[in-house]
Structure formats: structure tokens, C-alpha cells
């Protein structure tokens, strides 16, 4: 059997010694498409950072396969470039982790970066200033930066935040296409359960206030009973033209 890319065992995550989520155990498998779903402040970003190796756990163990290479896509508003960078220069940042000591970015790195931009559909933005791009364009450039690192796992923090519904669908369609063509695993943190439920193969429900962490195949997690108990209001789950729909209203 192929070992997990990332395995969490009894993990507690938080900041300054204060736990946010406790005793979390699950693994990210090769080819996974996992969504961490919950309301704002639920702990999704904290857990995502632990998966990516940005944040050390307060307790428990996070084990990463030697074969895993992680591409990280932060929330767009957390990237605040000090210097005016073009879209290509931002994407080239993804190559830095691949460079050995004293090695500078070369033509091979530029070819890989441009290939990543083509995958993300942002080739035409190469010379534009990153700061001047729209929210959706910035997210695509950040995805290209992650792809430039030649990852086996891409982790994304609220990649559709601040975009309109059409742009959300376009971005998720891009992630699904990349997942299918490249074979890399994807872990995405989002509050938009209605959207991501049509793309992810597995979903983890996360809510620090209700002390909830529940993970499983999407069809098993996105049920009226589970979501009603999680959100404390009546939830209906159905389909419309092949699209999974989630409607909430009233109290239980």
C-alpha cells in the first residue's frame, strides 16, 4: 500500500500554547481531494497550516512522507508584497524551495514557472503587476506559484474568498482539472460547503465552538441529519441538474 502523504495522530493545534482543535487524527492520501469545511473561526486555517508544516502541533504527531512536496496557497489578502512584483515573479517564488545552495533562478526554472502559469490559465498576465490584478486573477497566480514547486500535495486556504459566484465555480473547475491531470492531492479549507461539496471526494467538518471534527466521503458527510446537527438549524440536501444543493433555514 502507498503510504499517506501526511498523517496526523492525536494532534492538538493552536497558538501560544492555547489549543484550538484537539486530538485530531486523519491522513491525506495520494490523489486525495479533501475539503476542510466550517464557519469562520472554526480552526480550518490552523489545521491547514499544521498539514503544510507551517505550524508545529502543540501535541500529537504530524508525519509527512519523504515523497511529499507541498505547494501552499494562502488567503489572497495575507500576501502583501513589499516590492512591486509581476505575476511571473510571484510564480517564480515557487521555485525557491527547489534551488540548492548558491543556485540562482535559471531558464529551466522560468520554463517550469511559465508552464505552471499555463496550467492555471494566467499566461497572459505574465508581465502585469500582481498588485493590480483582480481577486480571481491573484488566486490563479498563487495557484500557479504552488504548481511551480512541482508539488505532490497542494493546500489552499479559502481560495474562493472575495470572488463572485461565477469566479468561484471557475476556480474550483480549475482545481478539479489540475487534480485530474496532474494527480496531485488537494486539501482546501473553506466555509463554502455548498460549493466544495460538488468537487471534493472527502470532507472534514470542523467547528471549534461545537467541538466537532468529522471526516469521511462527501456523500456520507453531506447528509441532512449530520448538517442539521452541526449547524443547529434545519438543513436540506438535494440535487438540481446534477449539482448538489444545500439549503438551510429555521431552527431545530
Query: Which CATH number covers residue 87?
Result: 3.40.50.300
Element (H, E) at 45: helix 44-52
Which has the minimum average pLDDT: 20-34, 58-72, 196-210, 222-236?
222-236
Residue range of the domain that includes 248: 224-252
173 and 240 fall within a common domain: no
76 and 159 fall within a common domain: yes
Does residue 1 belong to any structural domain of this protein? no
92 and 195 fall within a common domain: yes
- Assess whether pLDDT exceeds 60 at residue 252: no
88 and 55 fall within a common domain: yes
Contact status, residue 148 vs residue 78, Cβ threshold 8 Å: no
155 and 208 fall within a common domain: yes
156 and 231 fall within a common domain: no
Q: Name which residue leads in pLDDT, 82 or 84.
A: 84
In the chain, the percentage of residues whose pLDDT exceeds 90 is 67
32 and 154 fall within a common domain: yes
For the chain, what is the domain count?
A: 2
118 and 238 fall within a common domain: no
Which has the minimum average pLDDT: 62-71, 120-129, 159-168, 177-186?
159-168
Cell of 4: 499517506
Does residue 60 belong to any structural domain of this protein? yes
C-alpha 181, offset from chain centre: 17
- Assess whether pLDDT exceeds 90 at residue 1: no
- Quote the pTM value: 0.90
84 and 48 fall within a common domain: yes
213 and 239 fall within a common domain: no
Q: In the predicted model, what is the mean pLDDT of residues 122-137?
A: 92
27 and 143 fall within a common domain: yes
Amino acid at each position: 500500500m502507498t503510504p499517506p502523504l501526511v498523517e496526523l495522530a492525536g494532534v492538538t493545534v493552536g497558538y501560544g500554547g492555547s489549543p484550538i482543535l484537539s486530538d485530531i487524527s486523519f491522513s491525506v492520501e495520494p490523489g486525495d481531494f479533501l475539503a476542510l469545511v466550517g464557519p469562520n473561526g472554526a480552526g480550518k486555517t490552523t489545521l491547514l497550516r499544521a498539514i503544510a508544516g507551517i505550524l508545529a502541533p502543540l501535541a500529537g504527531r504530524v508525519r509527512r512522507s519523504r515523497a511529499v512536496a507541498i505547494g501552499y496557497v494562502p488567503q489572497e489578502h495575507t500576501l502583501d508584497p513589499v516590492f512591486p512584483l509581476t505575476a511571473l515573479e510571484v510564480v517564480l517564488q515557487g521555485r525557491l524551495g527547489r534551488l540548492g545552495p548558491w543556485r540562482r533562478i535559471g531558464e529551466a526554472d522560468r520554463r517550469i514557472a511559465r508552464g505552471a502559469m499555463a496550467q492555471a490559465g494566467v499566461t497572459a498576465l505574465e508581465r502585469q503587476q500582481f498588485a493590480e490584478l483582480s481577486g480571481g486573477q491573484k488566486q490563479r497566480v498563487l495557484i500557479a506559484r504552488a504548481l511551480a514547486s512541482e508539488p505532490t500535495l497542494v493546500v489552499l486556504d479559502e481560495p474562493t474568498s472575495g470572488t463572485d459566484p461565477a469566479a468561484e465555480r471557475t476556480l474550483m473547475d480549475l482545481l478539479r482539472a489540475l487534480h485530474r491531470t496532474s494527480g496531485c492531492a488537494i486539501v482546501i479549507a473553506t466555509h463554502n460547503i455548498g460549493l466544495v461539496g460538488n468537487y471534493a471526494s472527502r470532507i472534514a467538518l470542523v467547528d471549534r465552538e461545537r467541538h466537532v471534527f468529522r471526516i469521511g466521503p462527501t456523500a456520507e458527510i453531506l447528509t441532512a441529519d449530520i448538517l442539521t446537527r452541526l449547524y443547529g438549524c434545519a438543513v436540506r440536501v438535494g440535487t438540481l441538474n446534477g449539482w448538489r444543493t444545500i439549503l438551510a433555514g429555521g431552527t431545530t
